[in-house]
Amino acid sequence: MSPAHGLRLNSYLQVHMEEFEASASAKKTKTIYISTVFGIAMVLLMIGLLGLILVHANNLSRYVKENIVLNIFMDDSAHETDVLQLQKQLDANPMVKQTQYVSKELAARNLQKDLGEDFVKFLGYNPLSQSLDIYLKADYANNAGIDKFKAELMKNPLVKEVKYQQSLVDQMNANITSISLIIIVFAGIFVILSVALINNTIRLAIYSQRFLIKSMQLVGATKGFIRKPFLLYGIWHGLLGALIAIIILIGTLYFANQQIPDLVILQSPAEFGFVFLAVVAIGIFISGFSTFLAVNKFLRLKIYDLYR
Amino acid sequence: MVGNSIIKLNNVDIFQQKHLVLSGVNLHIDKGDFVWLIGQTGSGKSSLLKVIYGDLNIAAGTGHACGYELSKLATRDIPYLRRKLGIVFQDFQLLTDRSVEQNLQFVMRATGWTEKAQISERILDVLEKVGLRSKLKKMPHELSGGEQQRVVIARALLNNPEIILADEPTGNLDPDTSEEIVLLLKQISQSGTAVVVATHDYHIIRTFPSRIIKCENGKVLEDVQIA
């Protein structure tokens, strides 16, 4: 929002403040609104934290999945140019994230490094095959995806064997599914609780204005006219609460990155931007909708119900 | 609406939730009428007023108020009915955190007035009628009880109502001030606005004799005489 827009909204809200604050003293009303905004901010902070945890968990799962290696061992008769041609084809495959060519010599050097002795000299020849290391995109890094991919590859006469750690993929996917389920269930419960909390806070704030609402009805104000300033305030409070929550979230992220520098691997500004936008949208929606429901409730009440 | 008729109820039953409060109510109030409404606490006076200002539905019978058919009154029409009524109730006092002028401005904005010049002109006009033009900038706590009630009456006059409904308008006032307020209401009725005053103060009724209707034993009795 530009400063000019902010100023206009502020002055508009100030005009409506008169309709809004009349029955209670300004100080008491301000206290109620400050506590409402902070109540909303705390709930949005929790939602935002959950969002950030989800983003990190999702990126961690993607990171792990995209580091699963498929080793494609080539037939001994295959020429290097044919293998490099195959690598080009694989690079163009939408399932593949990255490929790496490993020549016979490189494979031997790697194994020598691992074993700590020169096995080529001992055997008198290099028994290893040239190979391609394939890293699949996260969406395909499951056994079904890999098996399909493997079947396609095996049709190629250049390919002798495709190897990957099937049990590791099984285990990893099972764990990710369990963790995702737990987070989703937790998020669902949390959102319901959050809505209930914000709704309750707003209902209490509007309860303190019930006689004003009734007075406005008695002089002949339409429901729309009565609702409007309350709704604007509801939206304004949701926005303020969201901004407070986002400031705290950014602080939390900064602190977390200081403590665990490797977290940066799992972070992307676009995804954080999405979480922050979602916090603003949820704040405005829940606060505005709860205000709408609460005001409607008091608009429907008969005068004698106000004293119960 | 027929002729000068402001309120007309024919054989109306009034329920407060599930309880029948008044039955077979017949009532006719014309332009410029001044009517005392009496009856014991709980006899149905407030319920009768609520029907007139659309806070209670008519369970049986027919009626109209200020041109609105009460038995068919749509929720969206209630605000417009109330703009034709002036309400002077005990639990509908001035807003204590703003001046007389701001109290009146608040009501005018709530009822669709937008032009500042017209609002100012109308406020001075109604304050003139109640003799409080000089108190425009005063806060409610700076006014006496009688002056506050005059401002409440001024507020009721803002939208040039066809009828004023006053529930115990002299309830918290001393006898002299009460007489001043009733005198003001009488003057308003003489200028063509009907006035209904619910009260328990028989002394003031005797001082300002007028038509009396009484709520008693679930009925509304017309043209009652008091001892």
DSSP state of A92: T
B87 in contact with chain A, both atoms CB, cutoff 8 A: yes
Q: Are A190 and A103 in contact (CB under 8 A)?
A: no
pLDDT along chain A (308 residues), means of 10: 44 46 56 83 89 85 83 86 88 89 87 83 84 87 82 86 80 81 84 83 83 82 87 92 95 92 85 93 91 88 63
Helix (H/G/I), strand (E/B), else coil: B194:
strand
B109 in contact with chain A, both atoms CB, cutoff 8 A: yes
Q: How many Cβ atoms are within 10 Å of B181's Cβ, its own excluded?
A: 23
The number of angstroms, rounded, from the C-alpha of B127 to the middle of its chain's C-alpha atoms is 17
Helix (H/G/I), strand (E/B), else coil: B11:
strand
CB-based contact B16 A23, cutoff 8 Å: no
B88 in contact with chain A, both atoms CB, cutoff 8 A: no
B50 in contact with chain A, both atoms CB, cutoff 8 A: yes
Reported ipTM: the value is: 0.81
Mean predicted confidence (pLDDT) in B128-143: 89
Helix (H/G/I), strand (E/B), else coil: B79:
helix
pTM of the model: 0.69
Q: Are A14 and A26 in contact (CB under 8 A)?
A: no
Q: Lowest-confidence range among A63-72, B136-145, B146-155?
A: A63-72
Helix (H/G/I), strand (E/B), else coil: B221:
strand
Collect all residues with Cβ–Cβ distance below 8 Å to A222 and sequence separation of at least 6.
B76, B79
Residues A56 and B69: their CA atoms lie apart, in Å, by 64
Per-residue pLDDT, A12: 44
CB-based contact A23 B80, cutoff 8 Å: no
Per-residue pLDDT, B212: 93
Residue B147: pLDDT above 60? yes
**Mutation for testing the B interface, residue in A19, A215, A296 having most B CBs under 10 Å:** A215
Write out chain B residues lying below 8 Å of A21, CB-based: 97
CB-based contact A219 B110, cutoff 8 Å: yes
Q: What is the amino acid identity at position B17?
A: Q
Residues B179 and B208: their CA atoms lie apart, in Å, by 9
Task: Report the gap between the CA of A299 and the closest CA in chain B (Å).
Answer: 11
CB-based contact B110 A18, cutoff 8 Å: no
CB-based contact B106 A19, cutoff 8 Å: yes
DSSP state of A210: H
Q: What is the amino acid identity at position B39?
A: G
Nearest to B78 by CA among B113, B44, B54, B105: B54
Collect all residues with Cβ–Cβ distance below 8 Å to A5 and sequence separation of at least 6.
none
B30-75 pLDDT, tens digit each: 998 999 999 988 888 888 999 999 888 888 889 999 989 988 888 8
The number of angstroms, rounded, from the C-alpha of A162 to the middle of its chain's C-alpha atoms is 35
Radius of gyration over every alpha carbon of chain B, rounded to an integer in angstroms: 17
- Residue A249 β-bridge partners: none
Residue B197: pLDDT above 90? yes
Q: What is the amino acid identity at position A237?
A: H
Task: Report the gap between the CA of B49 and the closest CA in chain A (Å).
Answer: 12
B16 in contact with chain A, both atoms CB, cutoff 8 A: yes
Nearest to A266 by CA among A54, A56, A52, A50: A56
CB-based contact A22 B106, cutoff 8 Å: yes
Residues A248 and B138: their CA atoms lie apart, in Å, by 46
Per-residue pLDDT, A7: 41
* Cα dihedral value A99, A100, A101, A104, nearest 10: -130
Q: Nearest by CB to B82, which of A19, A25, A218?
A: A218
Per-residue pLDDT, A27: 63
CB-based contact A220 B102, cutoff 8 Å: no
Task: Report the gap between the CA of A222 and the closest CA in chain B (Å).
Answer: 6
Write out chain B residues lying below 8 Å of A304, CB-based: 16
Write out chain B residues lying below 8 Å of A222, CB-based: 76, 79
Percentage, residues of chain B above pLDDT 90: 29
Task: Report the gap between the CA of A18 and the closest CA in chain B (Å).
Answer: 8
Collect all residues with Cβ–Cβ distance below 8 Å to B38 and sequence separation of at least 6.
B45, B198, B199, B200, B202, B205, B212, B213, B214, B215, B224, B226
